[in-house]
């Protein structure tokens, strides 16, 4: 065996060993985080029940619905303070498609217990289930997008027209709660607008703080228009599925997608 062949083999073995070690370390991290949330004292991460609904829920016939109020004010204030304290975001930029900051699920587990408790609460899953007409559950901890925070805070931050990929066996839904939306518009909101396309019609979806939007992103074409200088928009994004299991191929595609938002570490989730 010549020197070149030996070098290639040794390099491949080293890369394989490194990949395996990273994978093991990530799995240990997720077991630790799951244990951490399971052992929270009752008062840690507790949120008040969702606002009682004295009116019928909105129709989901277009696979998108909106509520004027997401949380009781005290609960919203708690989550807002927690999320606004997340000063370190992971910036991503995909030319012509996306620019913005993100905080991943695993970071929220460690630094935003009230937010994670809200996502994992039976109340939230029950509300989403009632709106979409099917029983849903939160998606797994290793999916960085299961519960994340999206920051639009630098001029031009946006996301272009797209459908959400579904990486699970069941139907997949996104729930958005605006945490902050401050800008130069006549309503005091930013220029970053959530829009959905239904055929030839583009419908703006109002997102002042503490509203709730739920939609089936695999079926609804949507985008967020660019934010302007001096504006800030922060969105809590939560994912639910009717069956949160995934095939190996779906898991691989989900990891590739997550690298665009959360960096190379997503390859070992």
Structure token digits, residue 27: 């799995």
What's the pLDDT at 127? 93
In this predicted structure, which of 69-83, 155-169, 237-251 has the lowest mean pLDDT?
A: 237-251
Q: What is the pLDDT of residue 261?
A: 59
How do 232-241 and 137-138 pair as beta strands? antiparallel
Q: What is the pLDDT of residues 24-68, one digit of tens each?
A: 555 555 566 566 666 555 555 566 667 665 667 899 999 999 999
Res 35: pLDDT: 65
The alpha helices in the chain, defined as continuous H runs, are 3-38, 73-84, 105-111, 113-120, 122-132, 248-262
> How confident is the model over 168-212, as pLDDT tens digits?
999 999 999 999 999 999 999 999 999 999 999 999 999 999 999
pLDDT score of 141:
86
Q: What single string gives the DSSP state of each residue in 215-234?
A: E-TTTSEEEEPPP-TT-EEE
For residue 17, what pLDDT is reported?
47
- Tell me the pLDDT tens digit for each residue of 212-233: 999 999 999 999 999 999 999 9
- State the Cα–Cα distance between residues 27 and 217, nearest whole angstrom: 28
Cβ pair 143, 108 in contact under 8 A: no
Give yes or no for residue 101 having a pLDDT over 50: yes
């Amino acid at each position: 065996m010549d020197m070149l062949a030996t070098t290639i083999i040794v390099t491949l073995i080293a890369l394989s060993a490194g990949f395996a070690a990273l994978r093991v370390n990530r799995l240990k991290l997720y077991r630790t985080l799951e244990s951490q949330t399971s052992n929270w004292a009752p008062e840690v991460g507790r949120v008040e029940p969702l606002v009682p609904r004295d009116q019928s829920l909105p129709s989901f016939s277009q696979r998108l619905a909106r509520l004027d109020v997401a949380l009781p004010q005290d609960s919203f204030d708690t989550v807002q303070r927690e999320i606004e304290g997340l000063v370190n975001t992971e910036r991503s930029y995909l030319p012509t498609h996306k620019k913005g900051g993100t905080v991943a699920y695993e970071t929220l587990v460690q630094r935003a217990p009230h937010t994670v408790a809200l996502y994992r609460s039976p109340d939230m899953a029950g509300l989403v289930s009632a709106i979409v007409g099917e029983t849903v559950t939160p998606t797994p901890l290793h999916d960085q997008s299961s519960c994340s925070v999206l920051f639009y805070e630098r001029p031009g931050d946006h996301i272009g027209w797209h459908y959400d990929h579904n990486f699970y066996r069941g139907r997949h839904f996104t729930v958005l709660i605006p945490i902050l939306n401050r800008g130069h518009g006549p309503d005091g909101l930013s220029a970053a607008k959530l829009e959905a396309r239904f055929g030839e019609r583009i419908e703006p979806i109002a997102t002042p703080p503490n509203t709730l939007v739920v939609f089936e992103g695999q079926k609804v074409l949507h985008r967020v228009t660019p934010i302007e200088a001096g504006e800030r928009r922060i969105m809590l994004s939560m994912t639910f599925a009717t069956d949160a299991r995934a095939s190996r191929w779906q898991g691989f595609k989900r990891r590739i997608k997550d690298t665009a938002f959360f960096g190379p570490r997503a390859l070992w989730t």
